Amino acid sequence: MKERLQKRIAHSGITSRRKAEELIKAGKVSVNGQKVIEMGYLVDDMDVIKVNGKLIDVEKKVYYMLNKPRQVLSSVSDDRGRKVVTDLIKVKERIYPVGRLDYETTGLIILTNDGEFANRMIHPRYHLPKMYHVKIEGILTNDDINRLSKGLTTKEERYQRAIVENVRRDKKKKVTHFDMTIFEGKNRQIRLMMEFLGYDVLALSRLSIGPLTLDKLPSGKYRALTNHEIKLLNKAVNQND
């Protein structure tokens, strides 16, 4: 995956991006033996980059999606010895989760070693839509669906609108299944929104983040994102700049 030269230099840890730009302008940077002074010059993992004649070592950026099971923490460690998401992904790179899912929530979570990518994905400015499949106790009313579509204000929090679709009411079992899309990532958001309306969430699973979908990935399994998926995610956040 191509990225700007100054960004690649900053990722190596030898200097900041601003300082990297100054080094490029000063003619101190070469790519594959050729001096580069152009801002925004694109490089990939095959390029050999030197700063002041010294080769920089940049860890390859990796991106994975995991179908998180229940009772797994969205973390890289736990002082109580509970299982964490990185226990389920056996790769050599040091990766960490992008955002989080509750301990009891299942579904799609992204893991990467690309800090800038991760920050953009979770930053409130970009409002990437996230779709969940929800199972609640009780029969969800049309009035409550309408309230969710307009947003909710509790004593503690203001929640933006949510889209509810694919509603299936099981009156015999007194439960409702539906898909719910939210546009922010507040802590335990869906559970608290449903609790405010008087419903208990029995099961919650994230199906998608922006253009990225869980599809048929089995619970507890992971795979690398394709270059196309990475480009779609970057495009989704960049279009809001």
Type of residue numbered 77:
S
With bands split at pLDDT 50, 70 and 90, how would you rate the model's confidence at 141?
Answer: very high
pLDDT confidence band for 129 (50 / 70 / 90) = very high
Q: Say what percent of the chain tops pLDDT 70.
A: 98
- Give the pLDDT confidence score for residue 227 in this predicted structure: 94
Catalytic residue among 47, 102, 114, 215: 102
Tokens matching residue 125: 């400015």
For 22-75, how does the pLDDT look when each residue is reduced to its tens digit (9 = 90+)? 999 999 999 999 999 998 899 887 788 999 999 887 777 899 999 999 999 999
Quick one: which H or E segment has residue 235? helix 227-238
**Which CATH superfamily includes the segment(s) 130-209?**
Alpha-L RNA-binding motif (3.30.70.1560)
pLDDT tens, residue by residue, 145-156: 999 999 999 988
Domain ranges of the chain: 3-55, 63-125+212-238, 130-209
**In the CATH hierarchy, which fold is given to the domain comprising 63-125+212-238?**
Alpha-Beta Plaits (3.30.70)
Res 94: pLDDT: 85
**Dihedral Cα 195, 178, 213, 129, nearest 10 deg:** -50
Residue 236's φ and ψ, nearest 5 degrees, are -60, -40
Q: Please list, residue by residue across 161-171, b when 16 or more beta carbons sit within 10 angstroms of its beta carbon and e when fewer do.
A: ebebeeeeeee
Domains 3-55 and 63-125+212-238 belong to one CATH topology: no
**Averaged over 13-30, what is the pLDDT?**
90
Q: What is the pLDDT of residue 110?
A: 98
Active site (annotated) includes residue 102: yes
Asked whether the beta carbons of 179 and 164 are under 8 A apart, the reply is yes
Tell me the CATH architecture of domain 3-55. Roll (3.10)
Does residue 23 contact residue 15 with C-beta atoms inside 8 Å?
yes
pLDDT > 90: what percent of the chain?
Answer: 72
Mean pLDDT of the chain: 92
Measuring CA to CA, how many Å separate 37 from each of 9, 17, 89, 134, 170?
14, 14, 40, 53, 65
